[in-house]
């Protein structure tokens, strides 16, 4: 089992390594100004992002992204619970929500700059507006999908409504909520970058754009690589947390999948 996993890891690393080697070989011979060799990108990366720009650009970016993501999850779960529990409310709110959902968040950058100014609030607002939907919609589905037998059980044992909500409905909906949150995290990272392209004076996205405008190509690439690594790391952390929180869900569904094998 463990040997198989090590082999899987090794196998998974082969293609990225090959791609990097191929790129480096090509970039060295081609001498294209826009595609510098790896060593150049690497040394810029080390000089800029380890760790000079961490407090000035990376942390502000991360802070806004996490704040936006956290708010999106909180708002999405709260509204999603209400809509999942009340058909009347979800019918009444549906058109408004559909309209808001259809708006591309970047289209709201001008408005949010006017309302919130050029500070962090406008950027966090944009991230929330984009990232809230997968959480909200999945929460609604998760709440509606709670087993009626479990609800009957709790009611027959006179478990009060608030406890049914926090100890039964919320945990039962959690697999769906976390699936939504994972999508929201990816959206939050995208919108973090987008929000920094207009009206920003720091951040990873801002740095990349500034480097591109100043034809500092290695720096542009170093920032891009950082964004890729950031997305990868965020997802890895999220998956680790999800595994821990949903161990029961993985065990139950995992067993079901296992049982179907011959």
Footprint of another protein on this chain (CB under 8 A)?
147, 149-150, 152-160, 163, 167-168, 171-172, 174, 248-249, 251-252, 255
Nearest to 28 by CA among 41, 38, 14, 18: 38
3-state secondary structure 111-143: HHHHHHCCCHHHHHHHHHHHHHHHHHHHHHHHH
The smaller minimum CB distance to another protein, of residues 168 and 189, is found at: 168
Tokens representing residue 257 in the block = 């999948």
In the complex, the smallest distance separating the C-beta of residue 242 from another protein, rounded to whole angstroms, is: 14
Question: CB 252 → another protein: shortest distance, Å?
Answer: 5
Spatial distance between the Cα atoms of 10 and 30, rounded to a whole number of angstroms: 30
- If you search the block for the tokens 């480096």, which residue do you land on? 24
Q: Which one, 66 or 154, has the nearer CB to another protein?
A: 154
Nearest CA to 225 out of 208, 241, 211, 209 is that of 208
* 38 neighbors 23 (Cβ within 8 angstroms): yes
Measured from the CB atom, is 213 or 244 closer to another protein?
244
Q: Which is nearer to another protein, 3 or 244 (CB)?
A: 244
Nearest residue to 235 via CA among 171, 176, 186: 186
CB of 249 to another protein, least distance (A): 7
Closest approach of another protein to the CB of residue 136, in Å: 22
> Which one, 94 or 152, has the nearer CB to another protein?
152
Q: Shortest gap between Cβ of 148 and another protein (angstroms)?
A: 8
Q: Which residue reads 């690393």 in tokens?
A: 13
* DSSP code string of 60-103: HHHHHHHHHHHHHHHHHHHHHHHHHH-HHHHHHHHHHHHHHHHS
Least Å from the CB of residue 216 to another protein: 51
Q: Which is nearer to another protein, 104 or 148 (CB)?
A: 148
């Amino acid at each position: 089992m463990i040997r198989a996993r090590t082999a899987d890891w090794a196998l998974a690393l082969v293609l990225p390594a090959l791609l990097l080697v191929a790129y480096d070989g090509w970039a060295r011979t081609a001498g294209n100004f826009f595609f510098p060799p790896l060593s150049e990108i690497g040394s810029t990366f080390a000089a800029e992002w380890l760790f000079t720009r961490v407090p000035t650009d990376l942390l502000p970016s991360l802070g806004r992204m996490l704040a936006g993501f956290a708010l999106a999850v909180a708002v999405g779960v709260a509204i999603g619970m209400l809509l999942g529990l009340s058909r009347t409310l979800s019918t009444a709110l549906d058109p408004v929500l559909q309209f808001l959902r259809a708006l591309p968040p970047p289209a709201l950058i001008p408005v949010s700059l006017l309302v919130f100014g050029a500070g962090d609030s406008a950027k966090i607002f944009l991230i929330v507006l984009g990232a809230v939907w997968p959480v909200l919609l999945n929460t609604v589905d998760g709440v509606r999908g709670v087993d009626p037998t479990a609800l009957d059980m709790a009611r027959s044992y006179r478990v009060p409504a608030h406890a049914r909500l926090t100890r039964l409905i919320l945990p039962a909906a959690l697999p769906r909520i976390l699936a939504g949150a994972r999508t929201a995290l990816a959206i939050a990272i995208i919108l973090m970058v987008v929000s920094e392209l207009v009206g920003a004076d720091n951040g990873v996205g801002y740095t990349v754009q500034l480097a591109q405008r100043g034809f500092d190509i290695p720096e542009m690439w170093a920032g891009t690589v950082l964004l890729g690594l950031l997305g990868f790391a965020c997802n890895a952390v999220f998956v680790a947390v999800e595994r821990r929180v949903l161990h029961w869900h993985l065990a139950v569904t995992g067993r079901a999948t296992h049982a179907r094998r011959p």
